Structure 1
Amino acid sequence: MRRRRATPWYEEGEEPDYRFTLANERTFLAWFRTGIALMAGALAVAQFVQPHLRVLAGTALGVLLAGTGTLLCATAHRRWRTVQRAMRHARPLPLTRMLPVLAIGASFSGPGLLFLVATGS
């Protein structure tokens, strides 16, 4: 007797309107671009902050930017998949916890950048 293969998640439910699928994909790409930009900012801080400031403020800022960017990139696909699945089953779109994380990461990065600029880096 042959075992029946389970239906992959992306074939369950009904195919959503392609415009919504493409909008979901654009959102995924925007999250991913933002994550990469945050990691590039971390690299810039690590490379261009003066050595005596790098020890404290530069390192903290670089870690914050790299951590937020990595987290955003790591969760972008999961968010895309969750939204896609909800659309296929005509369920409400789920909320995300990443928006507050991104807002907090950016909020703490701002004062760090201001400090580095004010101290002459």
Structure 2
Amino acid sequence: MSEHARHPAFVYRHGAEPDARFTLANERTFLAWIRTSLALIAGGVALEVLGLDLQPQLRLAASALLVIAGIIVPPLSWLNWARTERALRMGHPLPSSLLSILLGAAVGSAGILILLAILLR
């Protein structure tokens, strides 16, 4: 396969091919974020569909927060994959993750909303 046929071009047209182990590890990290996204969406849907005996508005807010986080994670994880792959190709230090703070805040906030929903039922 020629270098020109690889996409995204903004990643592959720069630098040299890195050790395949690092590229594959970067891809596994991307796939782990995708699994996390699926779990967030499933958790948000389950929380609402199961109709647990919780304060309804807080339960809905927690569900929506989890689903929204699950929707946001895939594009950010792809961007993180691309930034990391490009850094590997250029021999630059790896960039920091765009997802850690977002995910921590979303899951922590959803947990607080669920706790309040339990306490206020």
TM-score w.r.t. length of structure 1: 0.82
Unaligned segments of structure 1, at least 5 residues: none
Q: Please tell me whether the aligned partners of residues 31 and 73 of structure 1 are also in contact (alpha carbons under 8 angstroms).
A: yes
The count of aligned residue pairs is 114
Q: Please tell me whether the aligned partners of residues 36 and 73 of structure 1 are also in contact (alpha carbons under 8 angstroms).
A: no
SS at match of 1:24: helix
| Aligned residue runs from structure 1 range 67-106, under 5 A | 67-106=68-107
State the alpha-carbon separation in 2 of the partners of residues 102 and 67 from structure 1. Answer: 11
Give the deviation of 1:115 after TM superposition: 3.9
Q: Please tell me whether the aligned partners of residues 80 and 98 of structure 2 are also in contact (alpha carbons under 8 angstroms).
A: no
State the alpha-carbon separation in 2 of the partners of residues 12 and 46 from structure 1. Answer: 46
Aligned to 1:10: 12
Aligned to 2:114: 113
Measured against aligned partners, the alpha-carbon deviations of 1:24-77 in whole angstroms (never above 9, x if no partner) come to 0010001111011000111101201248833x0121011110111111122111
Taking only the aligned residue pairs, the percentage that are identical comes to: 34
TM-score w.r.t. length of structure 2: 0.82
Unaligned segments of structure 2, at least 5 residues: none
